[in-house]
Amino acid sequence: MAVYVARGRCHRHRRRLRAAHWDVPSDAGASVALAARDEAALGTLAEELSARGNAAIAVPTDVGDAAAVERLVAETMRAFGHLELAFNNATGGGQAPTPLADLPVDAYDSAIAITLRSVFLSMKYEIPVMLESGGGAIVNMSSTSGLEAVGGLAGYVSAKHGVIGLTKTAALEYASRGIRVNAVAPGPILTENLERAGPEMQRRAGDAMPMRRIGQPDEVARAVVWLCSDQASYTTGATLPLEGGKLAGMAPFAELRGPSST
């Protein structure tokens, strides 16, 4: 999913609306373009935004298709005249953990096309119109799997590492021209997939975190809002982990051993 804010800064009157089981930031009075493949869900969210005082358009889009992404940005510009903020959040899924040598080539290609190519295409067409508007901010969705590998997820891990690489490259190329580009890297978050997995899987995922819980979509949303806002005006090329301490290192030995038997 892509979320574009054409007018309205994220630090004013923050509101978060649930879209595709991610809370996404919007401003009261902002002009927002929403893009995803699910036309019905987009329409519902656009209506919610409109009811809350935002001008909103829904543009059904396959973000892995260059012509579709170019059309999305063009429709945003036709509707609102300029583009200030972009949140690029598309991830392929559905592939069970599979050793690399057993992974079908088309499954790997699909992960790269949806998760990585979509970010490249989005920024390719977002950046020129942001330059015309005098600058802006972009946030890309990576993952803790973009910072450390997970066995059995070769396509996903490759793509999420790539998102961070693209983020840094774009940040370096456009920092002097008024565009900031950052990424967020969530760990286990209560998204639709984890909701479907059920309470036991959620408990196990939370117990594996140093904070002993999974994250909430709202916590990711607040980080995205901050990176879009003027409060992060000196931040670019960064990847912000949101993972309850998962990447900090090994838990204390006493916790690894479990409760004492004496």
Catalytic residues, which ones? 156
pLDDT of residue 41: 82
Residue 261 structure tokens: 């038997």
- How is domain 2-247 classified at the architecture level of CATH? 3-Layer(aba) Sandwich (3.40)
Residue 30 structure tokens: 């902002």
Residue 241 structure tokens: 């982990």
Beta bridge partner(s), residue 17: 24
Residue of 18, 23, 37, 32 lying closest to 186 (CA atoms):
23
Domain ranges of the chain: 2-247
Q: What is the pLDDT along the chain (262 residues), one digit of tens a residue?
A: 566 665 444 332 233 333 333 444 455 457 888 888 888 888 888 888 888 777 888 998 998 899 999 999 999 999 999 899 999 998 775 678 999 999 999 999 999 999 999 999 999 999 999 999 899 999 999 999 999 999 999 999 999 999 999 999 999 999 999 999 999 999 999 988 888 889 999 999 999 999 999 999 999 989 998 999 999 999 999 999 999 999 998 877 766 555 554 4
pTM recorded for the entire structure: 0.87
